[in-house]
Structures are given as structure tokens and as C-alpha cells.
Structure 1
Amino acid sequence: MFIDAIGTQHNPATDARIISLVPSITELLFDMGLGGNLVGRTAFCVHPKEQVKQVKSIGGTKQVNLEKVKKLKATHLIVNIDENPKELVEELSKLIPHIVVTHPNKPADNIDLFSLIGNIFDRKGEAARLISELQAAQTQAQLSAMELDEKKVLYFIWKEPWMTIAPETYISQSLKIANMITYPQESDIRYPEIDLETGILDQVDAVLFSSEPFLFKSEHLKEFAQTYKVPADKLHIIDGEMTSWYGSRAIQGLRYLSDFAKGL
């Protein structure tokens, strides 16, 4: 048996019919050769672009069409603690017998994720390959970080209200590997609203605007610079997929963050 993020034990399932409510894990399933087992996904599951179009969309990460789900006769549902509401998962558990819960909080947690998916769905070789690639990427990122000065950064995921990330989140831990330390350094909430009148903009070396879940663009940075009197060269757009997507995307993400940090 194999144990997921909440301690649920899972038996091997070579003929599984899988629904994924996690975009990054949908991509991972394809990268592990499980595209043929994937029968349902969210509208936000966009990678790999061409293959994912062949899989039935059943809604979003927070709401789904239950009638569509029923018709798919899935055996396994893959969810994430941060991305999918507990109430939705409980409702879907009435229709799908096996719920696989994930919760990576740092890039190294992908090792357990690869192993979990590989063991449950008979893709041990693919899991071993990804683990090796991740470890190599993480080692290289750590070596690159040794050559960089530490940067204090404020990372925005939303505006109106302005929202950021707590230090224990996957995004923050990914940035940390590239020597970017997120502010505020303490928070009781994983994704807190931030008061920009507290002086935090003066405390950080750079302000990062993520491409998701809010799609920040250059005009947002121009408006921000004018409104809060921040130098334009202190503001940067960052690829949210490379910071927040765990799974196989994390391998590319670590390389991206090393290059990004060099440009700050």
C-alpha cells in the first residue's frame, strides 16, 4: 500500500480511470505515460496543450459538473489540499471510490509525489527518472544560488485586494532555493492580504507579480509604480507556472528560477 498526504493508503491500480483536479498533476500524469488513464480534468489543466484537449473537462478546481463526473465512471480522483475545497472533494468521494490527496510544500516534496503516483499507477520507472532529474535540477539551483546575493522579495498573486504568500508555501520555498526570500517572513495565513502602507515596499529588494492566478501584465506594473512611487526597475513579472506548479514542471521551474534570480 502507498500513503498519500493525509495518510490514506492506496493499493496498486494498473487499470485506473483518473480524474485530476490539479493542473500541474494533470501535466505530470502525461509525463509519466498516464494520459491514456486520464478521463477527466479541469478547464485550467492546459499542459501538455494538444494532448490535454482530448480529455473531458468537468469544470474548475473549485466547482465541477457532477453529472459529467458521473458519466466518466472514474476510479481515482487526484486533488490538492491548497487548490481544491474540502467540501467539493467530500462530494466527489460519493461518486469516485479512491481519492488521492497531494500537498507538496517545497520542491523536494516532489520526490514523494513522483513515488506516490508511480507506485499507485504502475509507473515506477517513470517516477525514478523524474526523481533523478529533479535532484539534479535542485543541486544545480543550490550551486547557482551560492553565487548570488540574497534578495528580499514581495510576491503578488492577486490585486484588489493585494495578496501574497506565506513562507511555508510551495512558491516561497521554491523562490528560497534561488536565494529569494519572501516577505512578510511570518504569516498565520498561507495566502494573506497585504497592507502596502506598512512600509513593506521599502523593506524588499524586488516586487514580483505572478502570471497566475491573477494574470499580471506590464500595464499593472506601470500603474503600481505610479500609485506607490516605486522605481520601475524594482518591479518584475514572474512566470507563475514556474514557481507554483509542482510535479514534472518543477524540474524546469528550478532552472527558470536560477536564471530569474540572476536578473534581479
Structure 2
Amino acid sequence: MHLADPRFTDPAAPVLRDALGTLHQSAGSSARIVSLVPSLTELLFELDLGAQVVGRTGFCIHPREALRAVPKVGGTKDVKMDRIRELAPTHVIANIDENRRETIDELAAFVPNIVVTHPCGPRDNLALFDLFGGLFGRERAAQALAADLRAALGEAEAVRAALPAERVLYLIWREPWMTVARDTYVSAMLAEVGWTTLPGVHGGVSGAGRYPAFDWSAGWLGDVERVFLSSEPYHFQLRHADEVTALSGRPATLIDGEMVSWYGSRVVAGLRYLAGLRRQLVDFAR
């Protein structure tokens, strides 16, 4: 950070602040970007920044065809430092949940700009769009995404207002069985269409963790009205739905985990997917 930098002296300049409070300067077309966050790799391509993405993780799979030409730098947790050094990025995109703090600290020793993100709910993507648009000279595309998100939020709100709230269990793993706490992005997405996740814990407060394990004798399961089986990180399939219905005594439905848990540009399609699924399940029950 330089005191002479107009970003910090010009009150008209946009403030580009990441999730750790770090201020960044606009880089525009000169940026060489390594993304360690699958959903944000997708966002970079949505903002027409694919030509500047010089590295990505093996879990960055969308857009599939375009990413074939982008070198891999390991996984989200096991990053290959030597490979990133070779690629000489000016910016690395990281996330508080997906990447290790020690990884970020090590990268900061030789990468000029580490952009740390942490969207906790769908509306947080508005600030994320502003940040990426300002950083990489894609303000107009970012504004268009923001307009699409506001429209999708309005559609979700209409569904939430029209239908009674429903308490749900969202499964992310099997043996041990694991779900999501209320202070997760997944829970916030489901809440937009009127699905309240159980158990009613907040991982940062209760000490249970944001992705708590449970057993089928837990008392709060009696309040669950529907169970969702996510396609990721555990790839639940139809055969598991019968198992879960037998264990819970509740209807069990497969759900697209990418649509619920991927932030960035995916949030728009995700909200519309959830709104449609909510209406579909209500119509099916009638």
C-alpha cells in the first residue's frame, strides 16, 4: 500500500477491499490470475477474463472446455507452490473456507496480490462482483451480473412469500452423516426460498462446527420436514434416497450441490433453480 496511491487519496475512486480488509489497486488487462476457488474461476470466465487466468486447481471444472488449456496448480488445500512460482501470477484468488491460511501466507511471500474472499450468503456476491469488476476492469459486466442477481433474489423472495416455511435437513456426507450449520452459504441460499435448515446451530458460536456430524437418534430430527441429499462433496444418488427416507421417516430429495453452494456468477442460476425446485415439490405434493 502506498500513500500516494490515488485509490487511497481520491474520494471518487472505488474502494476495492477484500474479505481480510486488504485494499487493492485496479490491475485491468495487465493481471495474470491464478484462482484457487472453483466457483470464482467460473466467475472470472463469466467476466470475460479467461485469457488472463494462468492457473487453476483441479477442482476448477467450469467452464469445462475453456479450462482444458489452463494449467493446474494442485488442489484447493494442497497447492503446488513451485508451479505457481513458474506461472508468475500478479494475483491469486483465494477463499477463507476453501484454502488454508498457511497457503495464503506462503503465497503472499512471492505473489504481489492475494485477493481473499468469503461470501457467506447470496447477497455477498454483489460486493464480490464489484471487487472483481473494479480489480480487473470489468465494471460493466459486473454491473450486469449484479442486476441479474437482484432479479433472482426478487424471484426467490416471491416464492418465499407465497409458500409456508419448511424445515429441512441438508446432507453433505454419509458415514459419518454430516449436514450444514445456519452460518453457512448453503443454509443462506436455502433460506432465500423459505427452507430453514436444521439443526438450528451456528458453527462459529456453538462449537459444533459449520458442518456438524449427527446420528439419526438426535431429538431435533423430529422437526425435520424434508431431507436433501447433495451431489457434492459426497455424491449422493437415488439409492441413497430410499436409505435416508427409511432412516428419517421423511421425504428425501436429490439436490444439485453446485447450484446451492457455488457462489460467484452461479448464484443467479442457483437461486432460480431453488425457486423452481420449491415450486415443483409443492406441486408434486398436491
**Other-structure match for 1:257:** 274
Give 1:82-231 correspondences, 5 Å limit. Answer: 82-187=97-202, 188=206, 189-226=209-246, 228=247, 230-231=249-250
How has the CA–CA distance of structure 1 residues 182 and 229 changed in structure 2, closer, same or farther, with 3 Å as cutoff? closer
Question: Structure 2: which amino acid aligns with 1:240?
Answer: G
Deviating more after overlay: 165-174 vs 182-191: 182-191
Amino acid of the structure 1 residue aligned with 2:238:
S
Alignment partners' CA distance in 2, 1:213 and 1:62: 14
Contact 2:35 2:41 in 1 (8 A): yes
Which secondary structure state, in structure 2, belongs to the residue aligned with residue 101 of structure 1? strand
One-letter code aligned to 1:31: E
Structure 2 distance, partners of 1:158, 1:229, is: 15
Q: Against the structure 1 CA distance between its residues 166 and 73, is the aligned structure 2 distance closer, same or farther, given a 3 Å change threshold?
A: same
Q: TM-score, normalised by structure 1?
A: 0.95
Q: Deviations over 1:99-119 (max 9, x none)?
A: 101111111110000000000
TM-score (norm 2): 0.88
Determine the structure 2 residue equivalent to 1:11. 25
| Count of aligned pairs between the two proteins | 261
Determine helix, strand or coil for the equivalent of 2:123.
helix
Q: CA deviation at 1:220?
A: 1.9
How far off is 1:143 after superposition? 0.9
The gaps in structure 1 that reach 5 residues or longer are none
Q: Which runs of 5+ in 2 are unaligned?
A: 1-6, 8-15, 282-286
Shift of 1:94: 2.0
Deviation of 1:199 (Å): 2.9
Q: Aligned with 1:208: secondary structure?
A: strand
Runs of 4+ in 1 over 6 A off after TM superposition: none
The answer to whether the 8 Å contact 2:156/2:193 transfers is yes
**Higher Cα radius of gyration:** 2
> Partner residue of 1:48?
63
AA in 2 matched with 1:169: T
Task: For 2:66 and 2:214, locate their aligned partners in 1 and report how far apart those are by CA, in whole Å.
Answer: 39
Q: What whole-Å deviation, never above 9, does each CA across 1:51-95 have from its counterpart, x for those lacking one?
A: 111111111111122221111001101111111111111122223
- Call closer, same or farther: CA 1:229–1:83 in 2, change over 3 Å: closer
Q: Distance in 2 between matches of 1:27 and 1:229?
A: 36
Aligned equivalents of 2:129, 2:248: Cα separation in 1:
45
Question: Structure 1, residues 181-235: CA drift from partner, whole Å, max 9, x if none?
Answer: 0001123321111232113332111011111111111122223334x2625xx10
Partner of 1:81: 96
